[in-house]
Chains A and B, each alone.
Chain A
Amino acid sequence: MRKWLLRLHLYLGLLCSGYLMVFGVSSLVFNHPLDFTKPSKATVTWERSLPLPPINRENNEAESEAVRDALALMGWTIPWETHRDGGGDLHFGLARPGKHYTIHVLRGAGAVRVEERREGYWTVVRSLHGNHGVPHSNLMTAWGWYTEICTLFVLFAAVTGVYLFASRKKDRRAAWAVLGAATALSLGFMLYVRYGG
Chain B
Amino acid sequence: MYDTIRRIHLYTGVGLLAFVVMYFFTGYALIHGDWFPRGEPVKSTREEPLATAIGASPEEYSAVLQRQFGLAGKRQPPVRTNDGGWRFEYIHPGESHQAVVPPAGGTVRITTTSQFPARQTLVQFHRLHRYGGGWVYDLWMVMYDLASASMIVFALSGIYLWYKLTRRRLLGWTLLAISFLFTAGTMLYLVHAP
Contact = CB atoms under 8 A, between A and B. Distances in A.
Interface of A: 10-11, 13-25, 27-28, 30-31, 33, 72-73, 96-99, 118, 120-121, 124-125, 127-128, 130, 132, 139-140, 142-143, 146-147, 151, 154-155, 157-158, 161-162, 165, 171, 175, 178-179, 182-183, 186-187, 189-190, 192-197
Interface residues of B, number: 72
B24 A155 contact: yes
B148 A27 contact: yes
Contact of A197 (B31, B74, B171): B74
A40 B180 CA distance: 25
Contacts of B129: 30-31
Contacts of A14: 158-159, 162, 172, 175-176, 179
A197 B176 contact: no
Interface in B44-102: 72-74, 92-94
B7 to A, nearest CB: 7
A31 B191 contact: no
Contact of B179 (A15, A161, A182): A15
B172 A11 contact: yes
Given A24-B149, A31-B141, A125-B187, A132 B92 contact: no
29 contacts: A10-B162, A10-B165, A14-B158, A14-B179, A17-B159, A17-B180, A20-B154, A21-B156, A24-B149, A27-B148, A31-B145, A96-B190, A130-B31, A154-B21, A161-B14, A162-B17, A171-B10, A182-B16, A182-B17, A183-B17, A186-B17, A189-B143, A193-B92, A193-B125, A194-B121, A195-B94, A197-B72, A197-B73, A197-B134
Which of B19, B139, B191 has the most C-beta atoms of chain A within 10 angstroms of its own C-beta?
B191
Contact of B183 (A21, A96, A151, A158): A21
Interface of B: 7, 10-11, 13-25, 27-28, 30-31, 72-74, 92-94, 121, 125, 128-131, 134, 136-137, 139-141, 143-145, 147-152, 154-156, 158-159, 161-162, 165-166, 171-172, 175-176, 178-180, 182-184, 186-187, 189-191, 194
State the main secondary structure of chain A at its contact with B: helix
Contacts, number: 182
A24 B156 CA distance: 12
A146 B28 CA distance: 13
A191 B27 CA distance: 18
